[in-house]
């Protein structure tokens, strides 16, 4: 008989996973101990590959997530019927409402006693249920891989920005006003056409790198040494891209290289504009012919940064697969990272179909007031860059924000091709309208 050291413990099962400062932790249920004794342990302290594999298998069954996608989940995930010492809550989802269960111990028989009370938690929130419901008809016809990706995104992205009624139930022209909660710069939602809300996607302010795409490695970045300075506009950059007001000082077609995490300057540096995020308040509104659109609630001057295009970062191969599926259903939110296409093939694209931000609703115009720029600040890979919208001219208050979906040279290239891609009628009503939008 093997005698165990009194300091040794046996893992009953692994019931959760989280990442803190790039370190992975597992939630351990210990053999012979109550659930309230669960502990979070560093990955390198868990000597049970079988338990880790079993945890991943169980999580995939419960969440309908592909096994190979689990390592890319960056939020805390838990199995059913466990106890999280971080929150001191029992995790037991049922139907549309998860339950918080207080775990106590019966002194007589040492069995777990659970007092349950309903509590709506993030994974079964109203927002998630609305998203699942809105996607249901589309998913019935979707390839299996896309269904798996959808479940992965739904299960891995925390909903930090729900759509809620405006404070004091504010109304405009007797139409209720809604807001996207928790944003630094306000986004309101106004619909005087019908009663719909744009709740068929997850609002996020961060890119999600979907397997096999890897998040850029900051160790490959090189930066300036302007320590303590807020002005890196001279000396350490070949091109000055922003003026003293933070507005563009370069023309369309120029890549923007902002200071990055390897630089010694502060976040207030004049060469950090896109990475500080949107500062212009915007409104999502229902149009009469184009679905949802976006307008500004204040005057915007030429060269002002508006918003970054956010969504899933996927490979061009995955982009082509999704593009074919989206074309069949008359919808697409794909945007190529193609600034380097003249020298190197395009490797990545951003898909804002499942998750994105307000830029997801920017409509097309043949006479646009927005321009798109490639921006580098967290990637040393020339084929992986951010996509940022800037005002191409002064924009009046309440004017809709639009850009040209067909880009700079794209239109001529499309017209020269023997087989044109999918096209849709244009409703921009511009005097320069080309009548068609090519996808």
What residues are designated binding site for Zn(2+)?
Answer: 224, 226, 232, 259, 263, 265, 269, 366, 426, 428, 433
Long-range CB pairs of 377-380 (<8 Å, 24+ gap) are: 377/257, 377/258, 377/259, 377/260, 377/272, 377/274, 377/275, 378/216, 378/218, 378/221, 378/260, 378/261, 378/275, 379/216, 380/216, 380/217, 380/220, 380/221, 380/222
Q: How far apart are CA 45 and CA 49, in angstroms?
A: 11
Q: How far apart are CA 63 and CA 308, in angstroms?
A: 30
Binding residue positions: 224, 226, 232, 259, 263, 265, 269, 366, 426, 428, 433
Contact predicate 435/425, CB 8 Å: yes
Q: How far apart are CA 371 and CA 384, in angstroms?
A: 19
The candidate with the shortest Cα–Cα distance to 66, out of 56, 74, 76, is 56
Name the residue with tokens 């074309």: 327
Q: How far apart are CA 40 and CA 86, in angstroms?
A: 9
Q: Where are the beta strands (DSSP E) in 35-192?
A: 39-42, 77-78, 82-84, 89-94, 97-105, 112-118, 163-165, 171-172, 175-176, 178-180, 187-190
Q: How far apart are CA 124 and CA 122, in angstroms?
A: 6
| The token pair that represents 51 in the structure block | 């338990």
Contact predicate 175/192, CB 8 Å: yes
Q: How far apart are CA 83 and CA 39, in angstroms?
A: 9
| Backbone phi, psi, residue 169, to 5° | 50, 45
Q: How far is CA 68 from the centre of its chain?
A: 20
Q: How far apart are CA 26 and CA 172, in angstroms?
A: 49
Q: How far apart are CA 67 and CA 96, in angstroms?
A: 24
Q: How far apart are CA 256 and CA 239, in angstroms?
A: 9
Contact predicate 16/84, CB 8 Å: yes
The angle formed by the CA atoms of residues 296, 439 and 308, to the nearest 5 degrees, is: 35
Q: How far apart are CA 258 and CA 245, in angstroms?
A: 15
């Amino acid at each position: 008989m093997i005698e165990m050291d009194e300091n040794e413990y046996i893992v009953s099962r692994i019931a959760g996973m989280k990442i803190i400062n790039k370190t992975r932790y597992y939630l351990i249920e210990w053999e012979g101990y109550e659930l309230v004794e669960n502990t979070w342990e560093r990955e390198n302290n868990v000597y049970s590959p079988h338990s880790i594999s079993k945890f991943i298998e169980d999580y995939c069954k419960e969440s309908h997530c592909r096994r190979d996608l689990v390592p890319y989940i960056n939020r805390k995930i838990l199995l059913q019927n466990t106890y999280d010492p971080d929150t001191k809550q029992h995790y037991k989802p049922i139907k549309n409402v998860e339950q918080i269960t207080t775990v106590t111990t019966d002194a007589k028989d040492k069995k777990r006693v659970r007092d349950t009370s309903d509590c709506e938690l993030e994974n079964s929130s109203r927002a998630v249920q609305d998203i699942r419901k809105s996607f249901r008809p589309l998913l019935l016809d979707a390839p299996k891989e896309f269904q798996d990706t959808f479940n992965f995104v739904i299960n891995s992205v925390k909903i930090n920005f729900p759509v809620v009624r405006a404070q004091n139930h504010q109304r405009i022209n007797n139409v209720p006003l809604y807001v996207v909660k928790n944003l630094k710069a306000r986004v309101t939602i106004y619909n005087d056409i019908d009663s719909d809300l744009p709740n068929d996607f997850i609002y996020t302010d961060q890119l999600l790198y979907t397997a096999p795409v890897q998040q850029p490695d900051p160790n490959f970045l090189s930066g300036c040494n302007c320590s303590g300075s807020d002005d890196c506009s001279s000396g350490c950059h070949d091109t000055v891209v922003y003026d003293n007001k933070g507005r563009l000082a370069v023309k369309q077609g120029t890549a923007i290289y902002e200071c990055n995490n390897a630089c010694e300057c502060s976040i207030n540096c004049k060469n950090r504009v896109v990475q500080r995020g949107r500062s212009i308040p915007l409104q999502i509104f229902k149009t009469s012919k184009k679905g949802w659109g976006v307008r500004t609630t204040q005057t915007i001057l030429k060269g002002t940064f508006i918003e970054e295009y956010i969504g899933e970062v996927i490979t061009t191969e995955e982009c082509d697969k999704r593009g074919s599926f989206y074309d069949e259903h008359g919808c697409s939110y794909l945007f190529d990272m193609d600034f380097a296409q003249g020298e190197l093939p395009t490797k990545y694209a951003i898909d804002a179909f499942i998750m994105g931000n307000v830029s997801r609703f920017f409509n097309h115009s043949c006479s646009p007031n927005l321009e798109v720029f490639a921006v580098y600040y967290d990637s040393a890979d020339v084929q992986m860059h951010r996509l940022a919208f800037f005002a191409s001219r002064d924009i009046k208050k309440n004017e809709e924000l639009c850009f040209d979906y067909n880009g700079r040279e794209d239109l001529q290239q499309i017209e020269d091709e023997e087989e044109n891609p999918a096209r849709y009628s244009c409703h921009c009503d511009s005097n320069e309208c080309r009548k068609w939008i090519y996808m």
